[in-house]
Amino acid sequence: MPNRRELLIGSTVAFVTTAASARSPLPSTATRIEVRQDGLVGRLHLMSGMRSQTAVIMLNGSDGGVPSARDADDLAANGYPTLALAYFQDWRGQPDGVPASLNDIPLEYFFRAIDWLKRRSEVDPARIVVMGQSRGGELALLLGSLRPDLAGIIAFSPSSRVWSGIPAYGAPPAAMRPAWTLAGQAAPFQDTAFDPALPMRQWFERAKPIEAARIQVERIHGPVLLASSKADTIWPADTYADEIAARLRTRPGKARVINLTFDDASHLLMGIGPGITKMEVPGAGFTFDFGGTAAGTARARAAAWAASKRLCADL
């Protein structure tokens, strides 16, 4: 059985995928197209007749796998073709065609996804937004700092820094590896100050900042939406979001920064409908707490999701 550290940093969030997928799907007329082109793995969500629309690339966090079809359908139904992109496998080993764990993921993979989406007739190539949650929010900001052609970034429970990779589900901990690479080189990262006696959020709070691991968000050209909670027990996303927002406001021009901070919400803020605040981990003998209350999380998710759609509409 995985030890508690593996459960906390690598696999418990994966159970969110199972719980979320158990919800009844929304009625939808969106078309879902499996994507297996140019080495990409994911699912494209479209509405009939779309042409030259603002598009979204959606990224999961440490749960891996393909992002929620329910959420991607909702974005498509609101006029935004959405590529739900996988970049490593979930705890079930799905989908095939992507790495088994969040280690050494080439950023060029995401560059290909951006360029592939630009070639679609449904998409305006000048209006592509990247959206991600947690490690996916970290990734969305990192991509925005490297690709000035992106029209906007939406980061739920983000990080202002690049963190290490995560061992594969069930694998023993090993020397930390980079989560991301660029041109075959590791993206600079920092690891948590792991201490099993402390709450997980404090692992990140106690980590000594490494300047090379800071995401250069001031290079992002378009508007940025940040959503975080002060009650987040996974990492201090509210502190990171404030740091990100402060750096973004040093940019020249008038690109907007929307920094939504909630008092009583979960770490899991991306998507429609109620979110998860606590989860009993099967066979582990403890309950995993993402922070916040059910009511506070529902309010925060509704507000952040609505703000995400407004950002897309305003491009």
- The neighbouring-strand residues paired with 34 are 43
pTM: 0.92
- 3-state SS of the chain is CCCHHHHHHHHCCHHHHHHHHCCCCCCCCCEEEEECCCCCCEEEEECCCCCCEEEEEEECCCCCCCCCHHHHHHHHHCCCCEEEECCCCCCCCCCCCCCCCCCCEEHHHHHHHHHHHHCCCCEEEEEEEEEEECHHHHHHHHHHHHCCCCCEEEEECCCCECEECCCCCCCCCCCCCECEEECCEECCCECCCCCCCCCHHHHHHCCCCCHHHECCHHHCCCCEEEEEECCCCCCCHHHHHHHHHHHHCCCCCCCCEEEEEECCCCCCCCCCCCCCCEEECCCCCCEEECCCCHHHHHHHHHHHHHHHHHHHHHC
Mean pLDDT value of segment 156-172: 85
- Banded pLDDT at 28 (limits 50, 70, 90): low
For residues 8 and 58, give the distance between their C-alpha atoms in angstroms, rounded to a whole number: 23
Distance, in Å, from the CA atom of 269 to the CA atom of 297, rounded to the nearest integer, reads: 7
| Averaged pLDDT for residues 132-142 | 98
> Confidence band (pLDDT; 50, 70, 90) for 18?
very low
Identify the pLDDT of residue 226: 98
Residue-level pLDDT at 194: 79
> Is residue 55's pLDDT more than 90?
yes
How far apart, in Å, are the Cα atoms of 58 and each of 42, 45, 110? 10, 11, 11
Q: What is the pLDDT of residues 58-117, one digit of tens each?
A: 999 999 999 999 999 999 999 999 999 999 999 899 999 999 999 999 999 999 999 999
For residue 199 the two structure tokens come to: 């709450």
The model's confidence at residue 23, banded by pLDDT at 50, 70 and 90, is very low
- Chain centroid to Cα 141, Å, comes to 10
Q: Residue 15: its pLDDT value, please?
A: 37
Residues 272-293 have pLDDT tens digits of 999 999 988 666 677 889 999 9
Supply the pLDDT for residue 8.
43
Per-residue confidence (pLDDT) for residue 4, from 0 to 100:
40
From CA 169, how far away is CA 92, in angstroms rounded? 9
Mean pLDDT of 195-216: 93
